[in-house]
Structure 1
Amino acid sequence: MDTAQNSNQSAAQASPSHGVSLGEAFRVWLRVAALSFGGPAGQIAVMHRILVEEKRWISENRFLHALNYCMLLPGPEAQQLATYVGWLMHRTLGGLMAGGLFILPGIVAIMGLSWIYALYGKVGIVAALFFGLKAAVLAIVLEAVLRIGRRALKNRILVGLAAAAFVAIFFLGAPFPLIVFAAGLIGFLGGRAGLPQVQSGGPSNGAEEHGDLLGEHIPAHASPNRRRSMQVAAIWLTLWLVPVLLLVLFLGRGDVFSQIAIFFSKMAMVTFGGAYAALAYVAQQAVDTYGWLRPGEMLDGLGMAETTPGPLIMVLQFVGFMAAFRGAGTLNPLLAGTLGGLLTTWVTFAPCFLWIFLGAPYIEVLRGNRALSGALSAITAAVVGVILNLAIWFGIHTIFGQVQPVGWGPFRFDAPIWDSVNLWALLLSGSAILAMFRFHIGMLPTLAATSAAGIALYWAGIIA
Structure 2
Amino acid sequence: MIEPVLSRSSSPPPISLPALFGQFLRFGCAAFGGPVAQIAMVRAALVDQQGWISKERFNRLLAVFQVLPGPEAHELCVHLGMIARGRLGGVLAGLGFMLPGLVLMMVAGWLYTSVVSGIAGIGGVLLGVQIVVLAIIARAVVRIGQHIIEDRLLAAIAVAGLAAALAGLPFWITLAAAGACYALWARPALVALVLAGAAALALLLRGAASADPIAVAQAPATVLALFVAGLKGGLLTFGGAYTAIPYVRADTVGRGWLSDATFLDGVAIAGVLPAPLVIFATFTGYVAGGPVGALAITAGMFLPAFAFSLLFFERLEAVVENPALHRLLAVVAAAVVGIIAATLFELAAATAPRVTQPPVGLVLFAVGLVAAWRLKGLWVPILLIALGAAAGALLPI
Do both proteins adopt the same fold according to a TM-score greater than 0.5, normalized to the shorter chain?
Answer: yes
The correspondence of residues 223-238 of structure 1 with structure 2, limited to 5 A, is none
Which of 17, 20, 34 is the equivalent residue of 2:12? 20
Counterpart secondary structure, 2:379: helix
Distance 1:89 1:143, change over 3 A: farther
Q: Output one character per residue of 1:372-404: Cα deviation in whole Å (capped at 9) or x when no partner.
A: 222223233333222322332333333x027xx
Distance 1:169 1:441 in 2: 31
Give the Å deviation of 1:134.
Answer: 1.7
Amino acid at match of 2:270: A
In percent, how many aligned pairs have the same letter? 29
* Aligned residue number for residue 201 of structure 2: none
Q: Output one character per residue of 1:401-437: Cα deviation in whole Å (capped at 9) or x when no partner.
A: 27xxxxxxxxxxxxxxxx9664433222211112222
Give the Å deviation of 1:107.
Answer: 0.6
Contact persistence 1:79–1:102 (CA under 8 A): yes
* Aligned residue number for residue 364 of structure 1: 317
* Aligned residue number for residue 101 of structure 1: 96
Distance 1:269 1:114, change over 3 A: closer
Contact persistence 1:129–1:455 (CA under 8 A): yes
Q: Output one character per residue of 1:84-124: Cα deviation in whole Å (capped at 9) or x when no partner.
A: 45445653134323322332121111111112212222314
Distance 2:311 2:325 in 1: 17
Distance 2:148 2:80 in 1: 21
Distance 1:120 1:177 in 2: 38
Distance 1:149 1:266, change over 3 A: closer
* Aligned residue number for residue 321 of structure 1: 286
Q: Output one character per residue of 1:425-459: Cα deviation in whole Å (capped at 9) or x when no partner.
A: 32222111122224x2546345435435534653x
* Aligned residue number for residue 281 of structure 1: 247
Distance 1:269 1:367, change over 3 A: closer
Contact persistence 1:179–1:382 (CA under 8 A): yes
* Aligned residue number for residue 37 of structure 1: 32
* Aligned residue number for residue 142 of structure 1: 138
2:245 paired with 1:272 = no
Counterpart secondary structure, 1:401: helix
Contact persistence 1:83–1:98 (CA under 8 A): yes
Which of 383, 388, 394 is the equivalent residue of 1:448? 383
Please, what is the CA RMSD of the aligned residues?
3.8
Give the Å deviation of 1:360.
Answer: 2.0
Which of 239, 259, 262 is the equivalent residue of 1:297? 262
Which of 129, 132, 137 is the equivalent residue of 1:133? 129
Which of 216, 223, 232 is the equivalent residue of 1:260? 223
* Aligned residue number for residue 211 of structure 1: none
The correspondence of residues 38-77 of structure 1 with structure 2, limited to 5 A, is 38-39=33-34, 43=38, 56=55, 58-68=57-67, 70-71=68-69, 75-77=70-72
Contact persistence 1:135–1:450 (CA under 8 A): no
Q: Which has the larger radius of gyration?
A: 1
Contact persistence 1:153–1:381 (CA under 8 A): yes
Counterpart secondary structure, 2:57: coil
Contact persistence 1:39–1:311 (CA under 8 A): yes
Give the Å deviation of 1:306.
Answer: 1.1
Amino acid at match of 1:63: L
Give the Å deviation of 1:53.
Answer: 7.9
The correspondence of residues 178-257 of structure 1 with structure 2, limited to 5 A, is 178-185=173-180
Give the Å deviation of 1:303.
Answer: 0.9
Distance 2:20 2:139 in 1: 31
Distance 1:157 1:107, change over 3 A: same
Distance 1:62 1:188 in 2: 27
* Aligned residue number for residue 303 of structure 2: 350
2:155 paired with 1:159 = yes
Distance 1:180 1:49, change over 3 A: farther
Distance 1:103 1:157 in 2: 37
2:122 paired with 1:169 = no
Which of 100, 110, 113 is the equivalent residue of 2:108? 113
Unaligned runs of 5+ in 1: 1-13, 192-253, 325-336, 403-418
Q: TM-score, normalised by structure 1?
A: 0.63
Amino acid at match of 1:272: L
* Aligned residue number for residue 334 of structure 1: none
Give the Å deviation of 1:297.
Answer: 0.9
Give the Å deviation of 1:145.
Answer: 1.9
Counterpart secondary structure, 1:58: helix
Amino acid at match of 1:390: T
Contact persistence 2:126–2:389 (CA under 8 A): yes
Distance 1:363 1:92, change over 3 A: same
Unaligned runs of 5+ in 2: 1-5, 187-217
Distance 1:107 1:431, change over 3 A: same
Contact persistence 1:161–1:183 (CA under 8 A): yes
Distance 1:22 1:389 in 2: 49
Distance 2:171 2:24 in 1: 31
Give the Å deviation of 1:33.
Answer: 2.9
Distance 1:390 1:51, change over 3 A: farther
Count of residues in Structure 1 that have an aligned counterpart in Structure 2: 350
Amino acid at match of 2:265: D
Q: Output one character per residue of 1:60-86: Cα deviation in whole Å (capped at 9) or x when no partner.
A: 344212321x23xxx545433543454
Amino acid at match of 1:131: L
Contact persistence 1:33–1:310 (CA under 8 A): yes
* Aligned residue number for residue 189 of structure 2: none
2:371 paired with 1:435 = yes
* Aligned residue number for residue 386 of structure 1: 339
Counterpart secondary structure, 1:340: helix
Give the Å deviation of 1:146.
Answer: 2.5
Q: TM-score, normalised by structure 2?
A: 0.73
Distance 1:47 1:376 in 2: 26
Q: Which moved more, 1:295-304 or 1:90-99?
A: 90-99
